Structure 1
Amino acid sequence: MTIITSPQNPKIKYVIGLRDRRERLQSGLVLVEGHDELSLVLASGITPAELFFCPALFRDPAEHNLLDHLAQTRLVEVDERVFQKIAYRENPDGWLATVPLPQKSLDQLTLSPSPFIIIAEGVEKPGNLGAMLRTADAAGVDAVIASDPLTDWGNPNVVRASKGTLFTVQVSEGRHAEIVSWLKARGIQSVVATPDANLPFTQADFTEPIAIVMGTEHEGVSEAWLNAADVAVSIPMFGKVNSLNVSAAAALMMYEVIRQRRS
């Protein structure tokens, strides 16, 4: 085990560099911070490459037991000053690891007999993407696919907002045309959510294999997806605004799928 007490250590600079998208894509590693999040990583069968920990920041002495499950991970103990340098949370709990990005290609995704997929088109805010993952985990979604993404799955804010579910839900990405072809080849119906649709989402049939397409925060679903979709649905709005936050809208759609499939 290594002990680091200097913020200028090259290893510390490398970890900080993983906040940059280019460095993440080149290394294939993402930053995961937090005891609970790392517990989910391990529960998913993924081995962190390297763990940086600071016992002085642990919330509970029992958390130290997590180290017993990291025999294949390089362990680096750091002091509080160094950990504050690498942490991206305001109140860190002393746990941060570099973890292989679990992203799969479209063809690597494992699907259930009646697939249930979420497609997030061009979602700009990492926090929204992470929140969608958290709901997707709760809803038992097969996979979340980023269409023409503006942010990457390894963005620290995606990881943080997902509460570790980046490692429990299959994720992928692709261009619009590639995803459409992939869906059609597997007989999966695409459903777009748009305020202009006449069909309320609660009246659509979500019992068949489906991929629900959610658009950007400002522009909604693109013309390309509107033209390619098999069904367009809307979420009725009864107030002054004409749309919901994309993660809130996605949550409504996901739980409507669950309601229909379990009724």
Structure 2
Amino acid sequence: MKVRVITSPQNPRIKDIVRLRERRCREKKGLFLVEGFKEISMAMEGGVELDSLFFCKGFFRGGEEGLLASVEARGGKLFSLPPRLFEKVSYRENPDGLLAVARQFHRGLEDLVLGASPLLVVTESLEKPGNLGAILRCVDAIGADGLIVCDPVVDLFNPNVVRASRGTLFTVKVAASSPRETIKWLKDKGIEAVITTPHAPLEYTEVDYRRPTAVVVGSESKGLTPLWTEGFSLKVKIPMLGRADSLNVAVAAAVVLYEALRQRREGSD
């Protein structure tokens, strides 16, 4: 393998990695960071193009040599860093010695492949990377057909989205769209939008999710816009019996999605 060694924090490539923590730089260069053996492996399985891989053998835990060879075989450049320099570019508390620079990918609604009775998740204006990552994990866990991200405040390629998703950003079909385009697309496809709101008349268990369904969740601070709350009649809530008036958006999405999974599994028996 051809490995280049970098020892100085003033190296231009090191400076570029640090800049990729900023959304503006990621968007300008069309690149993003993927850290960790599992996440990088899943990115490669998902067909993500890796521009380069930075590593430090001092943090390796076993099995990394095969990954290095695979990255190089696909055209990625390899760079070896000393421990202190790797800690500078890593965004994890306990790094495993692997950090990749990957090329961004973009999908639209037309790229979603739907099953006979699709189950989708739609998010609108999510603000926190941890929540978007957690929703990605849930979409992957229940085998949903995909995630539609509408007008996100948070960048899909934020390093914390990648980390919180545990690599499922690369296994879930994610499409970006506007709310208006998504609403039209759902209606054209005959997919029922289930609107989650604390003021709904129905509890989330009172809905039939076995038909084509899109579970729609809104921003952490403002919820869904009137385009959704006034444009669809099927609204559900999760009962709140204590002092809190709502759940974390990722938790709420998981609760509704696992009810959908339960119904679909029982309906197929």
Specify if TM > 0.5: yes
Q: 1:26 aligns with which of 20, 25, 28?
A: 28
The Cα shift of 1:102 comes to 3.4
Q: 1:214 aligns with which of 201, 214, 217?
A: 217
Q: Per-residue displacement from partner, 1:108-152 (whole Å, max 9, x unpaired)?
A: 222222221111111111101101101111011111111121011
Greater alpha carbon shift after TM alignment, 82-91 vs 37-46 = 37-46
- Counterpart position of 1:99: 102
3-state SS, counterpart of residue 150 of structure 1? coil
Q: 1:59 aligns with which of 58, 61, 66?
A: 61
Q: CA RMSD in A?
A: 1.3
* Structure 2 portions without partners, runs of 5+: none
Greater alpha carbon shift after TM alignment, 150-159 vs 14-23 = 14-23
CA distance in 1, matches of 2:31, 2:114: 25
- Counterpart position of 1:41: 43
* Structure 1 portions without partners, runs of 5+: none
Moved over 3 A (4+): none
TM-score (norm 1): 0.95
- Counterpart position of 1:69: 70
3-state SS, counterpart of residue 206 of structure 1? coil
The Cα shift of 1:230 comes to 4.2
Percent identical among aligned pairs is: 47
Q: Per-residue displacement from partner, 1:233-260 (whole Å, max 9, x unpaired)?
A: 1111111111000010010111111111
3-state SS, counterpart of residue 96 of structure 1? strand
Q: Per-residue displacement from partner, 1:201-245 (whole Å, max 9, x unpaired)?
A: 111011111111111112222222101224111111111111000
TM-score (norm 2): 0.93
Are residues 1:144 and 2:158 paired?
no
Alignment-mate amino acid for residue 236 of structure 2: V
The Cα shift of 1:84 comes to 1.1
1:1-263 to structure 2, matched below 5 A, reads 1-60=3-62, 62-70=63-71, 71-72=73-74, 73-263=76-266
CA distance in 2, matches of 1:162, 1:103: 17
Alignment-mate amino acid for residue 154 of structure 2: T
